[in-house]
Amino acid sequence: MNAPQQSLLNDSRFRPWEPVLWLLAFAAPLLVPSHASIINEIAIVALFAVSLDLILGYTGIVSLGHAAFFGMGGYAAALFAKLVMPDPLVGLAVGIVTATLLGAACSFTIMRGSDLTRLMVTLGVGLILLELANKLDWLTGGADGLQGVVMGPLLGTFEFDLAGRTAAWYSLTVLLALFVLLRRVVHSPFGATLKAIRDNRLRAMAIGIPVNRKLAVVYTLAAGVAGAAGALMTQTTGFASLDLFEFHRSADVMLILVIGGTGWLYGGVAGAIVFKLMQDALSSITPQYWTFWIGLFLVVLVLVGRERLIRPWTWFSRGGKS
């Protein structure tokens, strides 16, 4: 194994402190059982943010329609549970496959044009799916949503309890599994080519990197991960609605990456934790004006500089590398 390959392999390995953080995350539903639902929601939103970071932070693809894959995975899993069988893992697989196929079909739309073109195209795809879900009310429930989605026990043993602990552990497990997979992807030769495309697309083409093929693969992969997040959302809430496709889903996940940072997978996780906890706390204090305080926080974050606020954490998470 040559030096660059060894370096990539070392970067993909977990630091000694990382298992401790994940163990704390899995212990949280037991330590704070009253907050199991918010822990479940944080895990789902974090997975959604990580999927966007894969194309935004590592490839430079700007998307405002990432909720299309989130919603497709959510509806696919919900419809499968209601019409075919309620097994959560099989439904999760169906949601991932459906969103992946949609991502493969949409990947051709991001190969040409500028960042502004991609923004409009991705946003348009999301709006089209939103309107389709609204019009196909005989299948999706339309504006009323798809109700009565009942999930069977996880692995045939673990029932989804009202407290939300099983749901939280389920979502955390899927988040961890896909996080490890994506970590290996970005710290591989394939991930190195993605960074080359992000930094200078023309130079990457000049040295022989098949740019369009790489973009199609990573966009499809990110769509599948977003679909997994959507499937988890409908499975753990028992409800699918047009809200899954709404623009605010894509906007929120962009804000999460602004908070946590792009180009490192923990940015999506950290941003989701901060965003959801702030949203929960502020909405309980000022239900009418919580968006104002989040907006003020984002303004301060941009003015002060996210790097200044979280530089010690990012340095530590990257093993002392700048």
The pLDDT tens digits along the chain (322 residues) read 555 655 555 556 667 777 888 899 899 888 888 888 899 999 999 999 999 999 988 888 888 888 899 999 999 999 998 888 888 999 999 999 999 999 998 888 777 666 677 778 888 888 888 888 888 888 887 777 787 778 888 877 777 777 778 888 999 999 999 999 999 888 888 888 888 888 888 888 888 888 888 888 999 999 999 999 999 999 888 888 888 888 888 888 888 888 888 878 888 888 889 888 888 888 777 777 777 777 777 777 777 765 555 555 455 445 555 4
| pTM (global) more than 0.75 | yes
What pLDDT is attached to residue 63? 83
Contact 193, 200 (CB under 8 A): no
What pLDDT is attached to residue 200? 81
Q: 10 Å Cβ neighbour count for 265?
A: 25
DSSP code, position 113 = S
In Å, how far from its chain's centre is CA 188? 20
Residue 143's Cβ-count burial label (10 Å; 0-12, 13-18, 19+) is exposed
Angle, helices 211-237 vs 36-56, to 10°: value is 170
Distances (CA, A) of 9 to 54, 99, 184, 198: 18, 29, 8, 21
> Domain coordinates of the chain in residue numbers?
3-269
DSSP per-residue letters across 148-209: ------BTTTB---TT-HHHHHHHHHHHHHHHHHHHHHHTSHHHHHHHHHHH-HHHHHHTT-
Highest CATH level, class, for 3-269: mainly alpha
